[in-house]
Chains A and B, each alone.
Chain A
Amino acid sequence: MKAAEGVSFQLEKGEAMGLAGESGCGKTTVALSLLKILPQNGRVVNGKIVIAGTDIVPLSESEMRKNIRWKVISMVFQGAMNAMNPLYRVGDQIVEAIKMHEPEVHRKEAKERTAKLLEMVGIDPSRTDNYPHEFSGGMKQRALIAMSLACNPVVVLADEPGTALDVIVQAQVLRLMKELKDRLNLSMIMIAHDLSMIAEVCQKIAIMYAGYLVEYGDIVKIFKKPLHPYTTDLIESFPSIKAAKQEMVSIPGFPPDLLSPPPGCRFHPRCKYAMDICRKEVPILRENSPNHFAACHLVKD
């Protein structure tokens, strides 16, 4: 099964990009590839992943662990409720992350760093010795963010950081992520199915459909004038609480089975504008205007 194909994007320092799409579109596969932590039966078949000047695809597992993971690129995992080991104290789990990737650091120093990290994400350092169940959902998510920052990474991947949290807590977490990104000049990739969450934090957006990138670029441009019909539909299917009451839109049908994807453009069975060429030829991602790419036969010229 080809979970993601021909996905290319570029992220500058201090920039946040949202990776959006329906479930099963390959967002998480892309993220796991960036860390090279795909499941056993998955591999990066070809392509390059250059992070801060190094292509990580040919690197071995031990090189990845020693030099790349957490020091260059780290991850905030999905599901704040279950991402931490319930048997260890929160602080100790962060200390462990530091010791794992920077064995030369003394335990005492690692503890001090942990306290600073927790403070940075808005958790009182006196709570370091608590167990995860003593933390509320929002605090667990904050602690996971602190853990991802443990070894001063250049890039942070966040997989659905706001889902499963209540709106108010979600707003707090999103604000925190935005602040940290600006303060530490982090590059951030935020995976979310919720476009409104991406709109809050990111400057760029990449929209995936059935393993392909269908549209990518500057978020304001894409929200204002989406080029791919899938993007248009996706944006319209989000009701806004503030805007005028409009007819709710949904995309008929469902995403294709990736074992036998439709030929040509993978969106054509659900697309209102499908033409003959869409059934035959896979559209390539091309730059339509500066910093706005789309893969659709409609936008050829």
Chain B
Amino acid sequence: MEVVVKAENLKKYFPIKLGFFRTLFSKEELYVRAVDDVSFDIRKGEIFGLAGESGSGKTTTGRLLLRLIEPTGGKVHFRDKEITSIKDDEMKILRREMQIIFQDPYESLNPRMTVGDITSEPLRLLEKEMTPSDMDERVLQILEDVELTPPKEFVLRYPHELSGGQRQRVAVARAFVVNPTFIVADEPVSMLDVSIRAEILRLMMTLVDKYQASFLYITHDLALSRHMCDRLAIMYLGKIMERGDTEQVIFEPLHPYTKALIDAVPVPDPTAKRAETVIKGEIPSPVNPPSGCRFHTRCPQYIGDICRTKEPELIDVGNNHYVSCHLYGKEK
């Protein structure tokens, strides 16, 4: 299948501002290594999941792909173009093909704009040659697509007149209105009540299918990503630990971190037995990530010095399943 977006050795380091005296007297420069050498690709019409704990760099990765922030190193390819080095006006043309859906629909919609204004804004900014009547028609159609019916009534409403679920539908409509090729959804349902999550997710799946878009789904909820994504990448401290088809990653996890993460997900069944491998501690600071394998400080399958000293590479173990761990790869 056609690759639409490709991340190649993507890196983003955020410098830490030191106090006045420390900048005077010390030469050290500290960085938060939010994303550190990440590569993957997303195909046409595919939902690609990026999962991990908070601070693992998943949101930063999403923003890098859209070039909302500039990478420290590495490249992003969009279709056949390398977009990390192109000029802003060239980027602006590409923007109509890339959209983002934010986490919190209570913050991401302008309270002073009507639903109609919110959904038509991308058209006004990006589709300069579109006539107002075409725009109206497109807005009504996309509102119909996101099941805000009757659309004519919703066009005039303000965000405060909508429920959380309806707001997120507006955010979805705003993203899809320009018929984009690539969409990043950053935890799109984590602020919503469980009873309405499923319908928003289903809606996004339908739209991805309908518009044949590529979709990056950023989440910390593995149970949901399993139902949503075609492929899944697990991130830890700025690195991809494991990547593969969703069913493979969830049911045959290879990396000890993936295993621990899956075991930790609570199961809605009071008779289910919890696996006993709950790992200790919390995610270390990305300022000074552990040497070697970044997970070695918490790893239940630590195999010795190699984990502490040598950084494992993301290797192919067959069937498009990649893992970055010293436990694997030797047998090859």
- Residues of A near any B CB (own CB < 8 A): 22-23, 136-139, 162, 166-172, 174-175, 193-197, 199-200, 202, 219-220, 223, 233-235, 237-243, 245, 248-252, 254
Chain B residues near A193: list those with CB within 8 A. 193-194
Across the interface, do B279 and A168 meet the contact criterion of CB distance under 8 Å? yes
User: CB within 8 A of B195: which of A169, A199, A234?
Assistant: A234
Write out the residue numbers on chain A whose beta carbons fall within 8 Å of the beta carbon of B199. 250, 252
Supplied contacts A199-B272, A237-B194, A250-B202, 9 more A-B pairs, CB within 8 Å = A138-B282, A167-B265, A168-B53, A168-B264, A171-B264, A195-B194, A196-B267, A199-B268, A240-B267
Residue pair B278, A167 in contact (C-beta under 8 Å) = no
Give Cα A197 to B272, complex, Å: 12
Task: Knowing A136-B282, A241-B250, A241-B262, say if A248 contacts B198 (CB, 8 Å).
Answer: yes
Chain B residue numbers with a CB within 8 Å of A233 are 195
Give every chain B residue within 8 A of A202 (Cβ-Cβ).
Answer: 270
Instruction: Name which residue of chain B comes closest to A200, CB basis.
Output: B266
* Interface residue tally on B, bucketed by range: 35 or more
Cβ contacts A to B, 8 pairs, < 8 Å: A166-B283, A170-B266, A199-B272, A202-B270, A223-B268, A233-B195, A241-B262, A248-B197
Q: Which residues of A contact B274 (CB under 8 A)?
A: 171, 175, 200
Selected from B227, B264, B278, the residue in CB contact (under 8 A) with A239 is: B227
User: Which residues of B have CB within 8 Å of A250?
Assistant: 195-199, 202
Known contacts A167-B261, A239-B227, A248-B202; is-contact A199 B163 (Cβ 8 Å) = no
Q: Provided the pairs A167-B261, A239-B223 are in contact, do residues A196 and B268 lie with their beta carbons within 8 angstroms?
A: yes
Contact in complex: B201, A248 (CB < 8 Å) = yes
- Known contacts: A168-B261, A199-B269, A220-B270. The answer to whether A251 contacts B196 by CB under 8 A is yes
The interface residues of chain B lying within 8 Å CB-to-CB of A220 are 270-271
B266 & A171 in contact (Cβ 8 Å cutoff): yes
* Residues on B with beta carbons closer than 8 Å to the beta carbon of A195: 194, 268
Residues of A within 8 A of B289 (CB): none
Q: B128-140 toward A: CB 8 Å interface, digit per residue (1/0)? A: 0000000000000
Inter-chain contacts of B122 with A (CB < 8 A): none
B282 close to A199 (CB less than 8 A): no
- B264 contact set on A, CB distance < 8 A: 167-168, 170-171
A226 and B48 alpha carbons, distance in the complex (Å):
35
The answer to whether B54 has its CB under 8 Å from any CB of chain A is yes
Q: Is the CB of A245 within 8 A of B266?
A: no
Task: Give a binary string over B182-207; 1 marks a CB under 8 Å from any A CB, 0 the rest.
Answer: 00000000000111111101100000
Residues A22 and B193 in contact in the complex (CB < 8 Å), given A241-B267, A248-B227, A249-B198: yes
Binary contact readout B264-301 vs A (1 if CB under 8 angstroms, 0 otherwise): 11111111101000111011000000000000000000
Contact B53 A237 (CB under 8 A): no
- Report how far A168 CA is from B277 CA in the complex, Å: 10
Minimum CB distance partner of A22 in chain B: B193
Inter-chain contact B266/A197, CB cutoff 8 Å? yes
Q: A166-B54, A170-B264, A241-B226 are in contact. Are A175 and B270 (CB under 8 A)?
A: no
Whether B224 and A239, one on each chain, are in contact in the complex, defined by CB atoms closer than 8 angstroms, is yes
Given contacts A168-B53, A171-B278, A248-B202, is CB(A223)–CB(B193) below 8 Å?
A: no
B202 adjacent to A23 (CB under 8 Å): no
Give the one of B223, B269, B279 with max A CB within 10 A.
B269
- A194 to chain B: which residues have CB within 8 Å? 194, 266
- Given known contacts A166-B282, A172-B278, is B196 in contact with A238 (CB within 8 Å)? no
Instruction: Please tell me if B96 contacts chain A, counting CB pairs below 8 Å.
Output: no
Determine which residue in B53, B267, B270, B280 has the highest number of CB atoms from chain A within 10 A of its CB, and name it.
Answer: B270
- Check A238 against B268 for contact (C-beta < 8 Å): yes
Residues of B within 8 A of A199 (CB): 266-270, 272
